[in-house]
Structure 1
């Protein structure tokens, strides 16, 4: 350190330097220093982890259109820009002047700086169906503009509560009238006048108000929350209505109801989300009759159903919070059109979480199957079950194999003891693992512009060059990306007792990517597993208690 007054250099520790110059005494003396890339080659920059903060896009940045636009240019690079950066990175790693090249040579490796060409194909187009048998083709993986054709099943709310802060009272009437008009005119939903409850101090009055006002007949509690104390109010509100007083709930920020621009789109999203939480199917995705014939179970049960026996699709995920606590969530379809769900979650033991995971998978799976049999399926178990397991890495394979065995054991016991059938009659499982978010990028060639572009939505790549593990697997790009580069999802078929061919699995997977009712378009993974991901995060990060059993047939966590 150069001392200007004495005009000489002196040695000083980083801890003393930070304490002297920033007036912040570090709490941890044994933490590592982070070396950052300097602007000048002659400089060295070291950062103390304790004083670093997470970077990202704040609410202030989002409100500034110009700043947001500049930020998105850096975050969402165009396909050709992304490809150029990848090639440049691979080229730099070959240069002798960089440390990375030394490591590559020491490992006996070499890098090809040109992208590998592989074969891919685009799955057949899908159709979206609304009420009154209105069916339309899905274009570019999105059908937002088609929602005006009405929902497949619109809900009716004749007993619901609106809680609001005193600061919102002046704009409440016009906002509520607009909400009800959008619901009725655009989507055919019926919302009667709610019971209004004003809370002067939400954090202090919330528990008592919910305990007093929420009745067994209450269908929905909608709450307006100002920015102040919103995380605490949100957590207390959700915990009370998910774990203690089971009721569908919806939260809207006070700033939202004051927006003038795009208010119709905002209100539409609120209305659709409410309808979806009641398990009212918003739409259905249809495929060709030939594909449907392959997917649906082949066996007939003319005595009880008089039609082909339906099968169930299960989503499975585990969420880990900042405290290291894990939460398991399972969702399972219980109807023929994959729109009605069983949803339940369980908190895992922190120390013995792996054994706790297997036990809870068995418990939730058994409840899901009984829920399936107790619905419109008239006491019949599904003949075929497709399980999508999210967040799987190569290190998890042994645990995932144990999960498969645990589910098979449940089926064996349930079929023989509960339903009195022969062991060979048990439902068959197809188990598909979805890899954690990876770095793979797949580009298509734009012949007109002579540059790289994002592949079309529904593009599948199962070329042996990329899928060489010996396990049936494929990459699927289900989303249409207008800004940035598409990220494919990687699927591995770890068990296929149903002997589905890969075409059926790939088409079914793509179809399910368009059935997530929180988005009028394709999402990255199938809806059942994305529902499980949402549920696990909601319970693990917000509620931190098991959800009430009365909510298990709703999508309360959207």
Structure 2
């Protein structure tokens, strides 16, 4: 039935799925392997990844190991430029703790080296398989530890001569001369070796019958079924080998791949049965599926759906090795899979091109919906509380459970003869778990208008401040409350509750101008246009449904057309039994912040200090655009904030917009303080793998130049700190032989950190279920000269100042503010908000 519909297909350069299989069923174009089938690339073997090793270009593997993006961060040494931490970057304050990490020593000898050779065949051999066969026929010369990608050869031992010539013979008797030339003799600390270690370990995981899906490895043979939600979990591991202060170590963590039990064809059939006509079906189906990631279990590969081709079905044919074959016959011959629905359309996916030419025509493949399974969760599924709870019970592992699985992985490697032999050939040994000493920094006091609170726990101090006056409030005199007729009772109850809770915290709320509207967005817009005045302080809208398009339209109107802070509340949230006062308290605090009020602060001894948070996100509608959020405090209590958001194309570097943002923040600071800040600390979130060099060499100079542009003699002390919330390293507290999550305020700045960087880990959030994920901080530029203790304490203090939650959060407050700003713009507004709102936290 689905096959009746037709849509225009983008298949200008479409290939069959079998064409893709022939190119990627092996370990991949840039994969180092010591097997004859270890590489799969075009016949001439000329397509390879180039990376830097010193001043030389080296061909190394990419797929299956670290990506090139990760690689380019390895050669950066920022610590050597900072005199105050060049010899010692460790802090000393706080209570010492014994910390167990998820790192395992990867033991190699001190004089371990990797030898890189270039291999040339004469006459030239086009077939990569034949190159492997001809070269590997000289096992006595090369040894067992070897890795070849068609051009570059890595060996664990050095050949006698710099240039070695050998001869092999093809089946037809033709002699082929092979010239093996030594190019580099690489120590274990070389970035190329680090990448090589990762690729070797990925091969070890394959020997354990694990399959690569995306960047991680999973075990399809040991699935976890969640039948009540039609979901399947594949358990697996994410891993990375890196040189840490404790030496070369494997960082391993637990990963899960979420698969749905129903196929894409099941989804399409269900949608077809719920749709009235073919045209609407094709439009809805394309909208729902394009952009989704699917997994084909016959080869355990993932594909991104680019389009749906309703003009092709499984009975159509394509060329394979010069002959025509139908999709039905192909899947039967290649995978022994029988295709049942002969009328189903085909999904179109674009191959990830490994060609160096960016202008090359994209290559597309056709895959069958019947054989594809959707991965991940839909937005509807994510809003299902029961589903997420059941999923969390399987994926959010406690420290003991996580440790048990990690030790099981190590044990599996050590018991697998093939894996042990692979490591032994390269003179490697997987060793013991890395333990370090951490510290717990002192807890913070929460300062309000006239009281100092000592929270029982830094995780949540909502009870302590419930009836405490906030630092400063802005009286709410002129504001609108917009609601539909069926929510009139809810609106009245909300206002009464707001007045009760507001009096307790010292926030004066006058009676609003009540605007009752009909159901429908157009009615809301007419009301807003008619009632918003120049002196209107805030608009509160009670929404009947959580339809995103309605929320987006209202926020866009109130951030662009009629810039005024706004608060949107769902009617069903207010209708929850015994929750009205609690919800009203949170709403009152948010409303106060959006007017420019101040809730609480912590004691920060540093004077004249500006702290900036920067985050970067992609626009939700146009991926070619990047949303940059910039938030900076404008007073010495760190309670008022300047916010700016800039949208730019992705090919423009982030530093280009920092000048505008920095100038605005300095002007705002000067207007309030009548002087410029003496110190500036920038917490830079949203830095992707491989962007560290760009940040150091491009963004930091942009910031410095913008400071000098403001005033030629202005030379504040500056620190730039990269923030990363999600990383593989985990830490556990060992207490009487048992592992548990470390307490709030735990800092680790040795052992599992990098010797060439000024970095540390900080635990500033509570994992109520599962294992805590520490936040990683890397100080890449620093003229402030703060002691490590002071930088760590300042960072922890900043995690207390996020006004949307009365407790510490995972990252510094300005970073979280910047994230909230970019999320609102990227998901709802898609344009830069009015500068009239820059002094308000309008995005909370």
Same fold (TM over 0.5): yes
Cα separation, partners in 2 of 1:358 and 1:199, compared to 1, 3 Å: same
Q: Does 1:206 align with 2:528?
A: no
Unaligned residue ranges in structure 1 (runs of 5+): 1-9, 33-45, 297-309, 417-421
Q: Deviations over 1:162-187 (max 9, x none)?
A: 11123322433223322322222x32
Q: How much has 1:439 moved relative to structure 2?
A: 1.4
* Count of equivalent residues: 497
Q: How does 1:222-301 map to 2 (within 5 A)?
A: 222-227=540-545, 230-286=547-603, 292=605, 295-296=606-607
Output the TM-score relative to the length of structure 1: 0.82
Q: How much has 1:553 moved relative to structure 2?
A: 0.5
C-alpha contact (below 8 Å) 2:473/2:596 kept by paired residues: no
Q: Does 1:451 align with 2:738?
A: yes
Q: Deviations over 1:290-323 (max 9, x none)?
A: xx2xx33xxxxxxxxxxxxx12011111111353
Q: Does 1:174 align with 2:496?
A: no
Of 467, 477, 482 in structure 2, the residue corresponding to residue 163 of structure 1 is 482
Partner Cα separation in structure 2 for residue 19 and residue 174 of structure 1: 60
Q: How much has 1:138 moved relative to structure 2?
A: 5.6
C-alpha contact (below 8 Å) 1:126/1:138 kept by paired residues: no
Cα separation, partners in 2 of 1:47 and 1:470, compared to 1, 3 Å: farther
C-alpha contact (below 8 Å) 1:19/1:26 kept by paired residues: no
Alignment match, 2:377: 55
Q: How much has 1:73 moved relative to structure 2?
A: 1.9
Q: Does 1:146 align with 2:464?
A: yes
Q: Does 1:466 align with 2:757?
A: no
Q: How does 1:305-320 map to 2 (within 5 A)?
A: 310-320=608-618
Q: How much has 1:442 moved relative to structure 2?
A: 0.4
Larger Rg: 2
Supply the RMSD in Å over aligned alpha carbons: 2.9
Of 724, 727, 730 in structure 2, the residue corresponding to residue 435 of structure 1 is 724
Q: How much has 1:527 moved relative to structure 2?
A: 0.3
Output the TM-score relative to the length of structure 2: 0.55
C-alpha contact (below 8 Å) 1:18/1:24 kept by paired residues: no
Partner Cα separation in structure 2 for residue 163 and residue 97 of structure 1: 70
Q: Deviations over 1:428-461 (max 9, x none)?
A: 21111113511111000122xx310111100100
Q: How does 1:336-415 map to 2 (within 5 A)?
A: 336-350=636-650, 352-354=651-653, 357-375=654-672, 377-378=673-674, 380-401=675-696, 402-415=698-711
Partner Cα separation in structure 2 for residue 23 and residue 337 of structure 1: 67
C-alpha contact (below 8 Å) 1:26/1:50 kept by paired residues: no
Unaligned residue ranges in structure 2 (runs of 5+): 1-326, 353-367
C-alpha contact (below 8 Å) 2:443/2:458 kept by paired residues: no
Partner Cα separation in structure 2 for residue 187 and residue 384 of structure 1: 33
Q: How much has 1:210 moved relative to structure 2?
A: 1.8
Secondary structure in structure 2 of the residue aligned to 1:119? strand
Of 745, 763, 769 in structure 2, the residue corresponding to residue 477 of structure 1 is 763
Cα separation, partners in 2 of 1:216 and 1:135, compared to 1, 3 Å: same
Alignment match, 1:7: none
C-alpha contact (below 8 Å) 2:747/2:761 kept by paired residues: yes
Partner Cα separation in structure 2 for residue 548 and residue 103 of structure 1: 60
Q: Deviations over 1:2-38 (max 9, x none)?
A: xxxxxxxx955669x9985497523427779xxxxxx
Q: How much has 1:147 moved relative to structure 2?
A: 1.5
Q: Deviations over 1:384-413 (max 9, x none)?
A: 101110122440012211110001001122
Secondary structure in structure 1 of the residue aligned to 2:471? coil
Alignment match, 1:187: 505
Q: How much has 1:206 moved relative to structure 2?
A: 2.8
Of 322, 339, 348 in structure 2, the residue corresponding to residue 28 of structure 1 is 348
Q: Choose 136-145 or 398-407, whichever is displaced more.
A: 136-145
Alignment match, 1:79: 399
Cα separation, partners in 2 of 1:275 and 1:30, compared to 1, 3 Å: closer
C-alpha contact (below 8 Å) 1:18/1:25 kept by paired residues: no
C-alpha contact (below 8 Å) 2:347/2:369 kept by paired residues: no
Cα separation, partners in 2 of 1:192 and 1:395, compared to 1, 3 Å: same
